[in-house]
Amino acid sequence: MGTRASALALVQADLAIAHLRRVRPDLDAEVVEISTKGDRDKTTPFTELGTKAIFAHELQRALLDDEIDVAVHSLKDLTEREPDGLVIASVPERADPRDVLVSREGLVLDALPSGAVIGTSSVRREALLREIRPDVKTAPLRGNVDTRLRKVAEGVVDAAVLASAGLDRLGFAGRIAERLDATRMLPAIGQGALALEARAADQRVVKLCRALADPAAEVTTTAERALLAGLGVGCRTPVAGHATLTDGRLTLAGLVGRPDASEMIRETVTGAPGDAAALGAELAKRLLARGADRILRELEV
């Protein structure tokens, strides 16, 4: 099982193996740590690294080269389409998809003083923060979860926005000052979900991974990834997408905006869970028709 070498990635790989062993107690599994472009370059902003797959490409290459049998990803690190020969074998039960605020003084977002500096490496989070709190500042913040938490504690920044799932999985839930409402701080596409990726032709492994598939997680992430595919975005445009299942209905909210929050286009669609992919495609069309196509042409150059 291939994974990035970060503490969070290793916890996620161990979690996947533990779940697989519930299905196959005799499973012989080894974790292989693989360094990715995003791990090696800890200073260049994501928008300048040139590809959304900076945390996935080397893992996918190892799969194609038969060096590993399964790759464990944070689903939000994957591009909207799988490389030829690979397949997302399953999406296990999804963790909390929301963003969270960690602050040095334990203050929630609305209580931070004017001029406070919030660290983030995400253009989506930066744009949403500027929309919600135009009086605060944002600053680049790269590194593993523990590194970013330390920079908050040391006063490098006053606060930081991170993914709830990462802090929960690493046992840092106590550091969370606020879990940000998903309708206000729309999450990244696939946030909180893991993806087990395998070679499409290796049906033995695919079948094993299917045992961990969670229907709700697969439906919601299918809709979100269809939205991403329909938009065809890169890494320079603030894009968000969050699907929820309530009373047998699937609701998908989407956003395309500008990094300075001067233009933020939102749309929502609702339909049957069985139409998840079609709903994502429809939402993309609506956003593009309302001006997202113009924003993408300007930013994704």
Q: How far does CA 256 lie from the centroid of its chain?
A: 16
Active site residue 209: no
Give, rounded to a whole angstrom, the gap between the first and last alpha carbons of the chain: 36
Active site residue 77: yes
- Could you say which of 4, 52, 69, 76 is catalytic? 76
| 83-110 as b/e: b if 16+ CB within 10 A | beebbbbbbbebbbbbbbbbbbeebebe
- Could you say which of 130, 148, 169, 236 is catalytic? 148
Active site residue 148: yes
Active site residue 235: yes
Structure tokens that stand for 78 in this block: 């994957």
Q: H helices of the chain, where? A: 7-23, 37-40, 46-49, 57-64, 123-132, 145-153, 164-170, 203-210, 215-231, 276-287, 293-299
Active site residue 124: yes
- Could you say which of 124, 151, 169, 236 is catalytic? 124
Active site residue 142: yes
Q: For helices 7-23 and 203-210, what crossing angle results, to 10°? A: 90
- Could you say which of 169, 235, 236, 258 is catalytic? 235
- Could you say which of 61, 104, 142, 266 is catalytic? 142
- Could you say which of 52, 94, 98, 125 is catalytic? 125
- Could you say which of 4, 52, 69, 77 is catalytic? 77
**Catalytic residue numbers, as ranges:** 76-77, 124-125, 142, 148, 235
